[in-house]
């Protein structure tokens, strides 16, 4: 049945925001709070600088058409859209249309698909839309995405959807720092755990001794010490520097979207952050997931879901009789949260829950099972493939100063909610819950397998595939039309969202059966996951971790599709 929305909302009108500001309930973010929606087939976007005040200190953001985030772009499936992007910065810039199928020269990756947009210059993007759903766009130049160059995309379907709802809201989550992105990266290169304020304390040690015994606790501490890592190092940048935003507003901004009792509301969740995973829920309401990464899935009802960086989810919520409900998205490391309100009227709020307890990684989380983990110097020369039940590793990892650890017993863990979400009393979405409502869109068995390892050195803050950083790596070559299986093995203690440009990633279960089609595949520590790719797009494409500072420091490859 065709839905009948009475209002589409991205960020509420400036008039309501001005009223709240006058009452002292909301601090305006200059033009960044306004937010705009642009619809149609022809667009003009300006990338420039705009004063903002997000934390109480005046700063300058990089913006699109003067807003943070950039305007919501509303397109229609089947249309050909043209977007003239003009650069008002003193540096090169670009726009990448994340998850959109298009020709390589429209993909917006400088150095691969085009030369970038020079200061004072412009570029005309033009492509025909072959899909519908919820997507987003962002700069692919340097660290500009962190500074504010991103926005949401909604593509209306050509055919009616099988869902009925009365309202449609976009919720775009991001992370903001008053420090320049270059300063953040410089800090991470000097001290990779500089923003980890959640390190274990003497009190934690005493508690662990009481729970696990002296010997086990000391042994575990020694293992982590040898690896020069912390089991609480879940996020490279925490709320020590970040303010988490919902549609450009900080938690005390109380971004609000409206409802009437009994209505069904569609929420389009977009994680447009540079480095932050969010766990989203609405206390008192359930979420029915109807789409992942823009494509429909068989509906599944949950209380909570984790949104990896660059992923999108569409959920339906049937609202109850309360005047307001909290839109709550806590960071994976529990150092902070983004929040807003689903309310009957502007100005209403609901109770904001306290963040969950700080998660702590275990050896099992890192793919070591019950084995004692060893640092890379102890692993050099080991023939892992010949050791029963152990994961093999490429020769490029051996003796490599860019690799500080290797997973020994990785698992797909598709049914695992993830670190910090297990046994929390709530029903949490997992990848195993996601099912495409259609069979494998290609249907062919892959003709060859490609295995890539996600590698890094925490102390050096160096990231790579197979221990080879992008500047030293040869392109991954595919032949036009072939079907391949890509298997990723996460050898690091960090979670990585891996994004392949230009082509879909058809995620498989542990037995090689098709589950769901995505554009970004989350890879928790110690995981091994496979997906099939049809090389149906000629050209040079980016393939990378979507944690911005990981991509910038080497976890990036070129995929080249030739005839």
Tens of pLDDT, residue by residue over 319-349, are 999 999 999 999 999 999 999 999 999 999 9
- Helix %, strand %, coil % of the chain (to 5): 15, 35, 50
Counting residues of the chain whose pLDDT is more than 90, the rounded percentage is 79
**pLDDT at residue 226, rounded to an integer:** 54
Q: What is each CA distance from 144 to 43, 177, 280, 342, in whole angstroms?
A: 21, 12, 26, 31
Task: Find where tokens 């221990």 sit.
Answer: 467
β-strand partners of 222: none
**pLDDT at residue 360, rounded to an integer:** 84
CA angle 108–112–117, rounded 5-degree value: 45
Name the CATH code of domain 359-563 (choices 3.40.50.2300, 3.40.50.1240, 3.40.250.10, 2.60.40.420).
2.60.40.420
* Domain boundaries for CATH 2.60.40.420 within the chain: 7-180+241-343, 359-563
**pLDDT at residue 193, rounded to an integer:** 78
The region, left, alpha or beta by phi > 0 then psi within -120 to 50, assigned to residue 257 is: beta
**pLDDT at residue 15, rounded to an integer:** 33
User: How far is it, in rounded angstroms, from Cα 558 to Cα 403?
Assistant: 21
**pLDDT at residue 31, rounded to an integer:** 36
Tokens of 113: 């698909």
pLDDT digits (tens, 9 = 90+) for 161-175: 999 999 999 999 999
**pLDDT at residue 39, rounded to an integer:** 96
3-state secondary structure 51-67: EECCCCCCEEEEEECCE
User: How far is it, in rounded angstroms, from Cα 525 to Cα 364?
Assistant: 9
Residue ranges of the chain whose pLDDT lies below 70: 1-35, 194, 197-233, 363, 366-389
Is this model's pTM higher than 0.85 or not?
yes
Q: How many residues does the chain have?
A: 563
User: How far is it, in rounded angstroms, from Cα 82 to Cα 131?
Assistant: 16
Q: Tell which residue, 135, 143, 131, has the closest CA to residue 89.
A: 143
Q: Is 546 helix (H, G, I), strand (E, B) or coil?
A: coil
**pLDDT at residue 199, rounded to an integer:** 54
Pairing relation of β-strands 59-64 and 42-52? antiparallel
Strands, E assignment, 332-435: 337-343
Strands, E assignment, 185-336: 242-246, 255-258, 264-271, 278-281, 287-292, 295-302, 304-307, 312-318, 324-331
Name the CATH code of domain 7-180+241-343 (choices 1.10.287.130, 2.60.40.420, 1.10.10.60, 3.40.190.10).
2.60.40.420
User: How far is it, in rounded angstroms, from Cα 234 to Cα 255?
Assistant: 27
**pLDDT at residue 36, rounded to an integer:** 87
């Amino acid at each position: 049945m065709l839905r009948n929305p009475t209002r589409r909302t991205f960020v509420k009108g400036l008039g309501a925001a001005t009223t709240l500001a006058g009452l002292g309930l909301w601090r305006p973010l200059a033009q960044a709070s306004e937010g705009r929606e642009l619809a149609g087939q022809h667009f003009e976007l300006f990338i420039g600088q705009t004063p903002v005040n997000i934390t109480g200190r005046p700063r300058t953001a990089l913006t699109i058409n003067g807003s943070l985030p950039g305007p919501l772009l509303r397109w229609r499936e089947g249309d050909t859209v043209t977007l003239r992007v003009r650069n008002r910065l003193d540096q090169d810039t670009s726009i990448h249309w994340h998850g959109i199928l298009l020709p390589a020269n429209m993909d917006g990756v400088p150095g691969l698909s085009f030369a970038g947009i020079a200061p004072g210059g412009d570029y005309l993007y033009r492509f025909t839309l072959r899909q519908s759903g919820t997507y987003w766009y962002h700069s692919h130049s340097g660290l500009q995405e962190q500074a504010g160059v991103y926005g949401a995309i909604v593509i209306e379907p050509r055919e009616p959807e099988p869902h009925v709802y009365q309202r449609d809201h976009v919720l775009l989550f991001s992370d903001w720092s008053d420090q320049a992105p270059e300063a953040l990266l410089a800090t991470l290169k000097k001290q990779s755990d500089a923003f980890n304020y959640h390190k274990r304390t003497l009190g934690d040690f005493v508690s662990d001794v009481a729970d696990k015994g002296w010997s086990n606790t000391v042994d575990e501490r020694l293992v982590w010490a040898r690896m020069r890592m912390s089991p609480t190092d879940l996020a490279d940048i925490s709320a020590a520097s970040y303010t988490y935003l919902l549609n450009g507003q900080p938690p005390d901004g109380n971004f609000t979207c409206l409802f009437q009792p009994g209505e069904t509301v569609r929420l389009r969740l977009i994680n447009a952050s540079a480095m932050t995973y969010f766990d989203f829920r609405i206390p008192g309401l359930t979420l029915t997931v109807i789409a992942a990464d823009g494509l429909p899935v068989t509906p599944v009802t949950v209380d909570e879901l984790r949104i990896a960086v660059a992923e999108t989810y569409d959920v339906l919520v049937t609202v109850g009789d309360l005047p307001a409900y909290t839109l709550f998205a806590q960071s994976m490391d529990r150092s902070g949260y983004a929040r807003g309100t689903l309310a009957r009227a502007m100005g209403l709020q609901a109770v904001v829950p306290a963040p969950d307890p700080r998660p702590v990684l275990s050896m099992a989380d890192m793919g070591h099972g019950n084995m004692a983990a060893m640092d890379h110097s102890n692993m050099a020369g080991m023939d892992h493939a010949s050791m029963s039940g152990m994961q093999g590793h490429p020769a490029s990892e051996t003796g490599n100063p860019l690799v500080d650890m290797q997973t020994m017993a990785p698992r797909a863990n598709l049914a695992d909610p993830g670190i910090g979400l297990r046994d929390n009393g709530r029903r949490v979405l997992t990848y195993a819950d996601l099912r495409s409502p259609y069979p494998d869109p290609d249907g062919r068995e892959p003709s060859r397998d490609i295995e890539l390892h996600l590698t890094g050195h925490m102390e050096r803050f160096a990231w790579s595939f197979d221990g080879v950083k992008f500047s030293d790596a040869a392109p991954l070559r595919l032949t036009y039309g072939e079907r391949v299986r890509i298997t990723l093995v996460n050898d690091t203690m960090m979670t990585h969202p891996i994004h392949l440009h230009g082509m879909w990633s058809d995620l498989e279960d542990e037995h090689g059966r098709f589950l769901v089609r995505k554009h970004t595949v989350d890879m928790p520590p110690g995981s091994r996951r496979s997906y099939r790719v049809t090389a149906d797009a000629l050209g040079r494409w980016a393939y990378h971790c979507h944690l911005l500072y990981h991509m910038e420091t080497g976890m990036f490859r070129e995929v080249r599709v030739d005839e």
